[in-house]
Structure 1
Amino acid sequence: MNINFGYARVSTNEQTADRQIAELLKYVTDERYIYVDSASGVTNDRPDLNALKRAIRKGDHLYIHELDRLGRTKEVIKQELEYFRDQGVIVHFLDVPTTMIQFGEYGKFEKNILELINTLLIEVLTVQAEQEYLRSSKRRSEGILEAKKRGVKFGRPRYTYPIEMNQWYQEWKSGKITAVAFRKRLNLSNSGFYKIIKRYEEERMF
């Protein structure tokens, strides 16, 4: 039995794919078959997309909310589409109506015409998606440059040691408090704690 899969993508962990998922559930009957990545559309390092490729089979249908969710450049989109087509997977984009037509309802001639139309449409839309991505990247870079000129700082602020840092550090090293207790006092995650401790110890050497 063929399965309807869905794929959604957001660029950062701060964004939510809820809207995409809600639309995909109109075509995908089980949310378990919807794969969601929080990653840039220009990278191949997308764990859920890779997992989807391992799960999907010939004859299955793949629904994607928008063309640029599959990729942000023409090269990436083309590469992914070719992969799924080579696997015999039927890809549908919710924002490209002609890809939503079920070919089984038509004869061979009509099917060939629709495939040609979809190929041409996707070619045009992938170029548009890439151009929009490049424009957005340029605007973002220009905005960051101007902000830096005004003295705006980017990235996470540097961690500031509490005034009790040396006392707590000595208590930890002598075994009076555990690493967990020390970490909680510093209000740090486990990985963050050891990064800060390493930095603190390196600074103490000078």
Structure 2
Amino acid sequence: MLIGYVRVSKADGSQLLDLQRDALIESGVDAERIYEDKASGRKDHRPGLDACMKALQPGNSLVIWKLDRLGRDLKHLVATVDDLRERGVGLRVLSGAGAEIDTTTANGRLVFGIFASLAEFERELIAERTRAGLAAARARGRKGGRPRKMDVTMLRMAMKAMADRATNASDLAKRLGITTTTLYEYVNGDGTAKAPGQKLLDGNSA
């Protein structure tokens, strides 16, 4: 299934979504499956993008007009594309510098893989900085630790919250003290449990 996302930076009517929407529809995206925002790409909270990310399921493909419609900046773009890859969601970019990305083609999968490599590199840098920070904290008598893991109570809260389409996944993850990646590892965008989440629930009921 193809799901589209379009965005313009201003909501005052000076910028229109028509060009992007027409391009997505022409590429095969159903008009009813196009999510939209009228907000600056630098804003953390974009309701249309949040709803779009929740709607995407493994095997789906996200279709966008240009890469700059998706990410706030390069770091956010790389993280978003890598999150799609980990969830088994494809990506297709119709124009601009990212038009080589189409995971239905070998060349597109190669570019997708480059994003994954960049994301892995970023994670390694973060891990290295975290280890250095923890070492410095221990030297000063402070303690640090790993982020919280998902437990049954948190999972049930997450499932209930994600069942509400208005829920912002990033905000929910922050409230639970976990990463968005961890949240999507256990819970689908519609609030149902993924395999790891179901295993956690089954183990608790045993």
TM (normalized to structure 2)?
0.49
Could you say which structure has the larger radius of gyration? 1
